[in-house]
Amino acid sequence: MLSMLAKLNFAADVLFLAELYPFSVTSWGRTVERNKAVGGARRSRHIDFAAVDFVLDAGASHRDALIAMARKLGCRVIPENDHIHIEATRAHERGELAAVTASAGSARSAWGGPPRRRKAGQTKQT
């Protein structure tokens, strides 16, 4: 069983990867019942919200680069016929949110950063 920190590190890696190599998530966490219904492995990391399945847009050319980066981040990658499965490993039991730290600059520019604090007396602009 992975710790909450490991699962958060994995989730951060997924966000980091999506920022670099756009993809669509088709499955993330599952209940035991849902996992059975879709034929998932009995001990699937999906049950622990520590695995993600995703697909690339038609014509996307970044599949190999995405897989290489996911592995570099410590994810286990299983390319399937119609999707790519990535999951957390013990490598995600690290002491900090590494991907968040690494991607903070680019994430901030894409997201625009947190809302600026208004100075006292300033009125809200809508």
In whole angstroms, the minimum distance from the beta carbon of 53 to Zn ion comes to 4
Residues 75-82: contacts with CB under 8 Å, at least 24 apart: 75/10, 75/13, 80/53, 82/55
For residue 86, the Cα-to-chain-centroid distance in whole angstroms is 9
For residue 90, the Cα-to-chain-centroid distance in whole angstroms is 16
Tokens of 13: 């890696």
85 contributes a contact to Zn ion by CB under 5 A? yes
70 contributes a contact to Zn ion by CB under 5 A? no
d(C-alpha 34, C-alpha 122), whole Å:
50
d(C-alpha 6, C-alpha 111), whole Å:
24
Considering beta carbons, is residue 85 or 92 the nearer one to Zn ion? 85
Considering beta carbons, is residue 13 or 53 the nearer one to Zn ion? 53
Q: Which stretch binds Zn ion (CB under 5 A): 12-20, 68-76, 79-87, 91-99?
A: 79-87
Nearest residue relative to Zn ion (C-beta): 85
User: Footprint of Zn ion on residues 45-64 (CB under 5 A)?
Assistant: 53
In whole angstroms, the minimum distance from the beta carbon of 62 to Zn ion comes to 20
30 contributes a contact to Zn ion by CB under 5 A? no
Total residues contacting Zn ion by CB under 5 A comes to 2
How far the first Cα of the chain sits from its last, in Å, is 46
- Residues of the shown chain interacting with Zn ion in the complex, contacts defined by CB under 5 A: 53, 85
